[in-house]
Chain A
Amino acid sequence: MIEVRALTKTFKLYPQPSDRLKEFFLRRPFHSRHQALKDISFRVDSGQTLGIIGRNGAGKSTLLKILNGVLLPDSGTVTTNGRVTGLLELGTGFDPAMSGLHNIRTNGLLLGMTEAEIAGSTAAIIQFAELGAFIGEPLRTYSSGMVMRLAFAIAIHAQPQTFLVDEALSVGDGHFQQKCMRRIRDFRNGGGAIIFVSHDLNAVKMICDRVLVLGDGGIVCDGDPDQAVNHYNQMLAGDDSGELSAPDGGYGNFHAAITAARVTGLDSRGSLLSSGEACLVDVTVEAREDLPELTLGMVIRDRFGQDIFGTNSHVLGAALGLRANQRRTLRFRFPMALAPGKYTVTLALHDGIDHTRHCYHWWDNACQFEVSGIRGPIFTGVCNLRPELETLP
């Protein structure tokens, strides 16, 4: 259990370190302020998992550090009913010259484990980390993956009342990650509380019972995962509506140009969509001279830059002709059948069936969007082919 009341933290920014001392002795301010946390209050009961999401700079790390005891708040209280261990800075205190076994003790003591607890858990830790005979070798002979597995194994056996978890869950291969999730689940069933900070909105929706959205140091939303994630996306949409300002803005002869582009989900109304909801790609096009045969094309690429799907107005049978200085907005509408992940949309304005004749404006990665969560039956792979299943006589 963790209860936080009215937690406030301001960082004082000093032009020089010695100004801090000057302030202490001369009792005059020498700093500017950055308010990292404003009046944060929440409660996590035993067996609950609380998610915390927010943009970079919202105050998540500061909050975690205060809960961990590494930073002190300006005001407010943190009440816990037992040890709080961070699955955060894994491997603190690791000495590369010493063996894995020795480092288990070092790290365990630093995490607050007692001698007895370490002795009792050592066998389990060694087995969990899957290091085998390497446990007796000095840490400098380990690969970075082995170091992280050992660090994670120690932390997960620390037996606290509350775990603070950030992106550290992505350590190790699939099999190892599954082991970790199993232990986390056991921990939860045993009555432990978890605070989970992540940018992975899928994981947050999957694991958390409740989610807090932090914005500029304050709690913007406190509710169930779907509600909070939607709120978070509206925040993001308010900033840039899924538009990426490409540093070069594309190339072409610019007899016509794409002046605006946006990807939104019909329901989510932002650039974070669920797989299965309708997706709208709105593109505003402006012609600089008379162009009777314009074609607008679009290609969706995944995070590796692979073309996932492309189409254009010509193959869709839509005639597009503009006169000089005329502007039109077109909308592509389709069900978002893609698997969760991050994608970009590349747009092109050209003449005829493809861009090889006249390319007016080609804009790589004009917008970006993310698919998170699946509506309907879950699937794996790149996209949903919407199968039907029947039993044959």
Chain B
Amino acid sequence: MNITLLLHFVRQDLIDRHAASALGALWTLLLPLANILIFTLVFSRIMGARLETLGMEYLGQYSYSVYLVCGLLAWNAFAATLTRITQVFQEKAGLITKVNISLFTLPLYVVVSETIVYLISMGFFVVFLLFIDFQWTLAWLWLPLIFAVQQVLAYGLGLLCAILSVFLRDIRELVTVVTQLWFWLTPIVYVLSILPERWTEIFTWNPIYHTTTAYRDTLILGQMPDLAALGWVLGLGLALLAGALWMGRQLERDIRDFL
């Protein structure tokens, strides 16, 4: 599948989807913007005091918003990539059964699409941070790496679920439910310190906990992320990807027969 076709799918996803509406492609910007506005302005009144202990005192009433948005935007990208890739074969079944398309590179357009949405949202976030005199650090340069690690995991896991969901429709619903639970099992909306000590160890098994912590360490605290933990997440992502590709090659004939 050539790059042009991939980018065409991305374009269809972001722009053509809104072709019939008056505001058109503007919606691709408005939806993330609305998200950011809600989380930064509305929630900045809540939990403001709690987060002064995390080195964010200078942010005052915006400390929670910054904490939340750092984790939430990345989570949205991860969750959307995962759930959408899970459905991609069914969604594009009309194309797969008619023209020759590679099953394994097709889901890449979802990754690209969600990355663009993430970048747009982060763009608005940066504008917001400029308004509140945020202390910038070079640690922000770690962002692409952390994001890449997270998306590799999303792609590997998503592809695996996509293959399974061709045969077991339930996988789709299952992924939606698991993603919901996963969201709450990651300290995105809350701070880890509100939970009892003995629970915190379980969280280290959650790969998204590590990426979320990495985002906060680099973007807010200006520190280096835990590279060992990120390495573990990357390894997990690559292992899942390799497993998905292997399984996919074995089952490709059946997938194509069945779609």
Instruction: Find chain B residues with CB under 8 A from A93 CB.
Output: 94-95, 99
Instruction: Write the nearest CB–CB distance from A275 to chain B, whole angstroms.
Output: 38
Instruction: Find chain A residues with CB under 8 A from B252 CB.
Output: 72
Given contacts A106-B8, A109-B5, A109-B8, contact A70 B16 (CB under 8 A): no
Instruction: Write the nearest CB–CB distance from B166 to chain A, whole angstroms.
Output: 8
CB-CB contacts of B3-46 with A at 8 A, as 1s and 0s?
01100100010001001100000000000000000000000000
Within 8 Å of chain A (Cβ to Cβ): is B100? yes
Q: Could you tell me the distance between the alpha carbons of A69 and B1 in the complex, rounded to whole angstroms?
A: 13
Within 8 Å of chain A (Cβ to Cβ): is B204? no
Residue of A nearest to B259 (CB): A70
Instruction: Write the nearest CB–CB distance from B104 to chain A, whole angstroms.
Output: 14
Interface residues of A in 66-121 (CB under 8 A from B): 68-72, 74, 86, 88-89, 92-93, 95, 97-98, 102, 105-106, 109-112, 114-115
Instruction: Write the nearest CB–CB distance from A67 to chain B, whole angstroms.
Output: 10
Q: Could you tell me the distance between the alpha carbons of A17 and B99 in the complex, rounded to whole angstroms?
A: 23
Instruction: Find chain A residues with CB under 8 A from B50 CB.
Output: none
Q: Could you tell me the distance between the alpha carbons of A24 and B163 in the complex, rounded to whole angstroms?
A: 12
Within 8 Å of chain B (Cβ to Cβ): is A11? yes
Residue of B nearest to A110 (CB): B99
CB-CB contacts of B80-105 with A at 8 A, as 1s and 0s?
00000000000000111111110000
CB-CB contacts of A289-315 with B at 8 A, as 1s and 0s?
000000000000000000000000000
Residue of B nearest to A88 (CB): B98
Instruction: Find chain B residues with CB under 8 A from A319 CB.
Output: none
Within 8 Å of chain B (Cβ to Cβ): is A32? no
Instruction: Find chain B residues with CB under 8 A from A114 CB.
Output: 2, 4
Within 8 Å of chain A (Cβ to Cβ): is B251? yes
- Whether B99 lies near A92 (C-beta < 8 A) is yes
- Whether B167 lies near A21 (C-beta < 8 A) is yes
- Whether A17 lies near B16 (C-beta < 8 A) is no
Pick the contact of B99: A68, A71, A95, A97 (CB < 8 A). Answer: A68
How many residues of chain A get a CB closer than 8 Å to chain B's CBs? 30
Instruction: Find chain B residues with CB under 8 A from A97 CB.
Output: 16, 19-20
Given contacts A24-B251, A97-B19, contact A11 B257 (CB under 8 A): yes
Instruction: Find chain A residues with CB under 8 A from B4 CB.
Output: 109, 114-115
- Whether B100 lies near A12 (C-beta < 8 A) is no
Pick the contact of A70: B99, B250, B251, B258 (CB < 8 A). Answer: B99
Within 8 Å of chain B (Cβ to Cβ): is A18? yes
- Whether A17 lies near B169 (C-beta < 8 A) is yes
Within 8 Å of chain A (Cβ to Cβ): is B57? no
Instruction: Write the nearest CB–CB distance from A76 to chain B, whole angstroms.
Output: 13
Pick the contact of B100: A21, A70, A74 (CB < 8 A). Answer: A70
Q: Could you tell me the distance between the alpha carbons of A97 and B15 in the complex, rounded to whole angstroms?
A: 12
- Whether A24 lies near B169 (C-beta < 8 A) is no
Instruction: Find chain A residues with CB under 8 A from B173 CB.
Output: none
Q: Could you tell me the distance between the alpha carbons of A109 and B9 in the complex, rounded to whole angstroms?
A: 10
Instruction: Find chain A residues with CB under 8 A from B254 CB.
Output: 12, 20
Instruction: Write the nearest CB–CB distance from B161 to chain A, whole angstroms.
Output: 13
Within 8 Å of chain A (Cβ to Cβ): is B253? yes
Q: Could you tell me the distance between the alpha carbons of A110 and B4 in the complex, rounded to whole angstroms?
A: 10
Q: Could you tell me the distance between the alpha carbons of A20 and B166 in the complex, rounded to whole angstroms?
A: 10
Q: Could you tell me the distance between the alpha carbons of A98 and B12 in the complex, rounded to whole angstroms?
A: 10
Given contacts A92-B95, A109-B8, contact A21 B16 (CB under 8 A): no
Instruction: Write the nearest CB–CB distance from B9 to chain A, whole angstroms.
Output: 9
- Whether B20 lies near A20 (C-beta < 8 A) is no
Pick the contact of A105: B8, B94, B95 (CB < 8 A). Answer: B8
Residue of A nearest to B251 (CB): A24
Within 8 Å of chain A (Cβ to Cβ): is B159? no
- Whether A72 lies near B99 (C-beta < 8 A) is no
- Whether A110 lies near B95 (C-beta < 8 A) is yes
Given contacts A71-B256, A72-B252, A98-B19, contact A111 B12 (CB under 8 A): no
Q: Could you tell me the distance between the alpha carbons of A105 and B8 in the complex, rounded to whole angstroms?
A: 9
- Whether B257 lies near A71 (C-beta < 8 A) is yes
- Whether A70 lies near B5 (C-beta < 8 A) is no
Q: Could you tell me the distance between the alpha carbons of A78 and B166 in the complex, rounded to whole angstroms?
A: 26
Instruction: Write the nearest CB–CB distance from B2 to chain A, whole angstroms.
Output: 7
Q: B residues bordering A, Cβ < 8 Å?
A: 2, 4-5, 8, 12, 16, 19-20, 94-101, 164, 166-169, 250-254, 256-258
Extra contacts, 6 of them, besides A69-B99, A71-B256, A74-B253 (Cβ < 8 A), are A17-B166, A24-B250, A92-B94, A110-B95, A110-B99, A112-B99
Q: A residues bordering B, Cβ < 8 Å?
A: 11-12, 17-18, 20-21, 24, 68-72, 74, 86, 88-89, 92-93, 95, 97-98, 102, 105-106, 109-112, 114-115
* Sampled A-B contacts (27; CB under 8 Å): A11-B257, A12-B254, A17-B166, A17-B167, A17-B168, A17-B169, A17-B258, A18-B167, A21-B164, A24-B251, A68-B99, A69-B99, A69-B100, A71-B253, A72-B252, A72-B253, A72-B256, A74-B253, A86-B99, A92-B99, A95-B19, A97-B16, A97-B20, A110-B5, A110-B99, A112-B100, A114-B4
